[in-house]
Amino acid sequence: MTILLTGATGLVGSRLLPRLLAAGHQCRVLVRGGKAIPTGAEAVSGDLFDPASLASALEGVSAIIHLAAVFRTKDEALIWKSNRDGARNLIAAAETHAPQARFILASTSNVYGKDQARPGREDDAVDPPQAYPASKVAAERALSASQLNRTVLRFPFVYGDGDGHLAALPGHAASAGWHPAMRMSTIHHRDIATAMALALEGRFDGRVINIADDLPASMLDLIALGGGDMGASAEPLTSPWALQVDTALARSMGFQPTVRTVFHAAQEQIL
């Protein structure tokens, strides 16, 4: 299969690309500025903000995996431009130049409200106030309105393969005021690839799918696994289901995480 991958040099893409290559796929990577990519991938010059530059990148592809996104920045205009407008440009270009291709959009479980009454489910109404998840919702809706064969994968907190996410978690928890007992759904990079393999097979066609491992972990445990110390609190936990997702749909369609929990990852030394 010939795949166009955006965001290949990012935290998720740089770990997914070698796994796609190892699975035997031909991978075409959209790059700017001459960034290095793994041997075996084809680098093509293109810019999501320049629709005309996308035609050659899309020629002959059978699937598109759109990972490119902007997340942790205070520049909300850049978030919207990158995550909504960039996705719209790629979707429109795909409709013109690769209408037969399967389009897989990586989205986020942050689209779900923090005061939900249970783990977030794919059919929940979503209207997040923050720029990052709101821009991802806009991208999802743009893809849904297209004529492409499409899949949206909503990922929770991604970690593993030495990506530094767990080590950075204390700062995020402190700035957000998260409670130590708060639990968060997680997914290892290895199972980003597991989910992508199923999506490329067509298992999730036309669906929005939550992807997560078997057990949401507490903030206290996650930070400890990353080598930090969050401290304790006896204050009541509000919003107990925030940042947790329901994965029943994914499991009913064949998804089974190979890294079952963060504790499993720690045992395997793949944090």
Domains along the sequence of the chain with CATH: 2-158+187-212+245-257 (3.40.50.720)
Q: Calculate mean pLDDT across residues 157-183.
A: 95
- Average pLDDT across the chain, whole number: 96
Which pLDDT band holds residue 198 (cuts at 50, 70, 90)? very high
Task: Provide the pLDDT confidence category of residue 35 given band limits of 50, 70 and 90.
Answer: confident
- Residue 6 to residue 158: CA distance in whole angstroms: 17
Q: What is the pLDDT of residues 119-152, one digit of tens each?
A: 999 999 999 999 999 999 999 999 999 999 999 9
Is-contact 155 192, C-beta < 8 A? yes
Residue 74 CB-half CA count within 13 A: 0
| pLDDT per residue as tens digits for the range 60-98 | 999 999 999 999 899 999 999 999 999 999 999 999 999
For 214-256, what is each residue's pLDDT tens digit?
A: 999 999 999 999 999 998 899 999 999 999 999 999 999 999 9
pLDDT band at 34 (very low <50, low <70, confident <90, very high): low
CB 67 within 8 A of CB 12: yes
